[in-house]
A and B are shown apart, each in its own frame.
Chain A
Amino acid sequence: MGGGNPDPAERELIALMRDYLAGRIEAFDGLYAALAARLRAYLISLCRDASVADDLLQETFLQMHRSRRTYQPGRPVAPWVFAIARHVFLMHRRGTARRVRFLERVAAAVGADEVMRDDRRALADVDAVRRALRAVPADQRRALVLHHVEGWSFAEIAGRLGIRLNAAKTRAFRGMRRMREQLK
């Protein structure tokens, strides 16, 4: 079935993966026990932050679950899982960059340079952002914060809120527009 002659540990992973594909939760436990420590170390080496790595570890197992059909029975499990983990890290990095851009835009909107110089005014500006956020309808605010502040993808937001992908995008977009209008 390809993948050469795997070592005993890899053979065990292959057997666990086969059971996991068959729908056995015990196989997931086995995979987690066998892979989590190695994956965590790998993710720490990529993001250099243990708490972020812990979050990414959970996301890796979720992504692995979603795309488990792409695992080809008999092939080594580790390269498949580590490729997914790397992808999860890259998506996280992209989300972080997006969050930073959002905060920079908000800071620019409230005059960040002055905020740095004047603490009292800074507090007032933070308050302005809070007020602007409060003025955004709750459903739009939720999508806005989840996407731009917490870095969730629209697909994840749609899944969490039980709405369609386009609805998640529209809510976040309208929320952002409303917030900008409030800050003017």
Chain B
Amino acid sequence: MRAPNELRDLIARDLAPARPLAPPALRALALVPVAAAIVVLIPALNELRPDLPSVGVVRALGFAVLQAIAGVAIVAAALRESVPGRQWRVGHVVALVAGGLLTAVLLPGLAAQAFDVAPRPAGAVAVGVACFRTSALAALPALAASAMLSARAFPLRPAVAGALYGLGAGLIADAGLRLWCEFSAPAHVLLAHVGAVVVSMLLGTIVSVVYASFMKG
């Protein structure tokens, strides 16, 4: 079967050597400096968690790094999703999202002295808002970088790719809070920390879908 002349001419006119994109895992490494900056800057711009001596620097930093690595890994999964023919199956997407959210739920407790360290009731809302705002804002640079990496490929399911890189960016941002926030009470963790991760995930979905429809016209 021969290509129609019109199509062949069109391709021939536009054909030039093209450098293929690097594998998704390799491209996701571009986020490592962003993740490192977030993990360092959040405690640097605020303060180190007051219970650091009793928790231990290695433990707090270890869980922060672990969560940041999980975030970068999920962004790598999003970049793989953005390559035609390499989309994840629905079960894998569900497992990635559940695993990411579970990380955000469990790590604050594992990195704290107990699973129920709560802020004083009088200041609980203010503390929650501060954590939520810091986490959500810190996710933006990682989200922007991930969105650009994904857009350079060709996501056929932009909502899925966006949700995954939004989740990854949210986890990276929240990793910085492991060195700042000492609270592990379920209400605080779910509303302030997991809430910010979910918002980042939704933002990623919106950015990806809007960009895809803009490109399609």
Name A's B-contacting residues (CB within 8 A). 2, 21-25, 28-29, 32-33, 36-37, 58, 61-62, 65, 67-73, 75-76, 79-84, 86-87, 91, 147, 153-158, 165, 168-169
Contacts of A169 in B (CB 8 A): 217
CB pair A79 B3 closer than 8 Å: no
CB pair A28 B215 closer than 8 Å: no
B79 CB, nearest partner CB in chain A, Å = 11
CB pair A168 B217 closer than 8 Å: yes
Which one of A2, A22, A155 lies within 8 Å of B216 (CB-CB)? A155
Interface residues in B1-46 by Cβ distance below 8 A to A read 1-4, 7-8, 10-12, 14-21, 23
Contacts of A69 in B (CB 8 A): 18-21
Q: Mark B92-131, 1 if CB is under 8 A from A, else 0.
A: 0000000000000000000000000000000000000000
Q: Is B50 an interface residue (CB 8 A)?
A: no
Total of A-B residue pairs, C-beta within 8 Å: 103
A65 CB, nearest partner CB in chain B, Å = 5
Q: Is B85 an interface residue (CB 8 A)?
A: yes
Q: Mark B133-176, 1 if CB is under 8 A from A, else 0.
A: 00000000000000000000110100000000000000000000
Which one of A21, A24, A87, A157 lies within 8 Å of B217 (CB-CB)? A157
Q: When chains A and B are docked, how far (Å) is the Cα of A32 from the Cα of B15?
A: 15
Which one of B4, B12, B21, B216 lies within 8 Å of A25 (CB-CB)? B12
CB pair A71 B217 closer than 8 Å: no
CB pair A72 B21 closer than 8 Å: yes
CB pair A65 B11 closer than 8 Å: yes
Which one of B4, B18, B85 lies within 8 Å of A21 (CB-CB)? B18
Q: Is the interface of B mostly helix, strand, loop or mixed?
A: loop
User: Whose C-beta in chain B lies nearest to the C-beta of A156?
Assistant: B217
Q: When chains A and B are docked, how far (Å) is the Cα of A147 from the Cα of B86?
A: 31
Q: When chains A and B are docked, how far (Å) is the Cα of A71 from the Cα of B1?
A: 23
Q: A36-B3, A61-B11, A82-B85 are in contact. Are A158 and B153 (CB under 8 A)?
A: no
CB pair A80 B21 closer than 8 Å: no
Q: When chains A and B are docked, how far (Å) is the Cα of A81 from the Cα of B18?
A: 17
Contacts of A153 in B (CB 8 A): 216-217
B188 CB, nearest partner CB in chain A, Å = 42
Query: Nearest 8 A-B pairs (CB), nearest first?
Result: A154-B217, A79-B85, A80-B85, A153-B217, A83-B84, A23-B17, A83-B85, A155-B217
List 12 other contacts, CB 8 Å, given A65-B14, A83-B85: A25-B15, A61-B3, A62-B11, A65-B15, A68-B20, A70-B20, A79-B86, A80-B83, A83-B87, A147-B217, A157-B217, A165-B217
Interface residues in B180-217 by Cβ distance below 8 A to A read 214-217
Which one of A58, A73, A157 lies within 8 Å of B4 (CB-CB)? A58
A174 CB, nearest partner CB in chain B, Å = 16
CB pair A68 B11 closer than 8 Å: no
Q: When chains A and B are docked, how far (Å) is the Cα of A157 from the Cα of B20?
A: 27
Q: When chains A and B are docked, how far (Å) is the Cα of A48 from the Cα of B1?
A: 21
A59 CB, nearest partner CB in chain B, Å = 10
CB pair B84 A61 closer than 8 Å: no
CB pair A87 B84 closer than 8 Å: yes
CB pair A33 B2 closer than 8 Å: yes
Q: When chains A and B are docked, how far (Å) is the Cα of A130 from the Cα of B196?
A: 54
A143 CB, nearest partner CB in chain B, Å = 10
CB pair B8 A28 closer than 8 Å: yes
Contacts of A70 in B (CB 8 A): 20-21, 82-84, 153-154
User: Whose C-beta in chain A lies nearest to the C-beta of B82?
Assistant: A70
